[in-house]
Structure 1
Amino acid sequence: MAIKVVYDMTATAGKGDEFAQALADLAAVVSPLAGCDGIDILRKQDNADQFLFVESWQSGEAYAEASKLVPQTAFAPLKPLFAAPPARSVYDAQ
């Protein structure tokens, strides 16, 4: 079954533009992986430092396998920009 993995993230105050670029760079690493059907990066209209990073996957298994292939260095630019740890949720795609 297809799934959506949603990360709710907030950048340190005033770092939204830098955070957005780091998310775009991460999406460029993740989106070509087998089983990924795309990534949406959403920025909250009334808080330029808050984002949703939404990954679409063909299955939970595809997500699990692809997760093993993403190098930890892909997350390095984001880590110093987090205001708090990201919240992750997984949804069945209907």
Structure 2
Amino acid sequence: MIARHYIIHARQGEEKSVKAGLVELVELARSTPGCRGIDLLHDLDNGCRFFFLETWESVEAHKSAVNPDASALLARLIPLFDGRPEAAYCGKVSTA
């Protein structure tokens, strides 16, 4: 299992629209085959910053995922972002 994280910055004044859109995106994307879950976090110190955390069966499952409704919504949200989101694949660090 892997995680995919995105750090998203909303344009000044677009925070509420970005938040609403990301909440909707979570609901749409959760049903994508291979997706194990999604969490959306809002930075308490910086109201323009959001963290979108996805869990997938594998990197390949994420890369091959197809969800036209989620893709269309994301295309409408991108102009509300302040720059390109930071993104990375992450693996769990074993602490045992």
Query: Which TM-score tier does this pair reach, normalised by the shorter chain?
Result: 0.7 to 0.9
Figure out how many residues of one structure are paired with residues of the other and give that number. Answer: 91
What's the secondary structure of 2:75's corresponding residue? coil
SS at match of 2:23: helix
TM-score normalised over the length of structure 2: 0.86
Give the conservation status (yes or no) of the 8 Å contact 2:59–2:89.
no
Alpha-carbon separation, structure 2, partners of 1:60 and 1:83: 26
Distance 1:15 1:74 in 2: 15
Work out the CA distance in 2 between the residues paired with 1:84 and 1:54: 18
Instruction: State TM-score, norm by structure 1.
Output: 0.87
> Separation in 2 of the partners of 1:90 and 1:13?
27
Gap regions ≥5 residues in structure 1: none
- Give the root-mean-square deviation of aligned CA atoms: 1.3
Q: Distance in 2 between matches of 1:93 and 1:25?
A: 27
Shift >3 Å, 4+ stretches = none
**Alpha-carbon offset, residue 80 of structure 1:** 1.8
Q: In structure 2, the residue corresponding to 1:77 is in which secondary structure?
A: helix
Which residue in the other structure is 1:3 paired with? Answer: 2
Unaligned runs of 5+ in 2: none
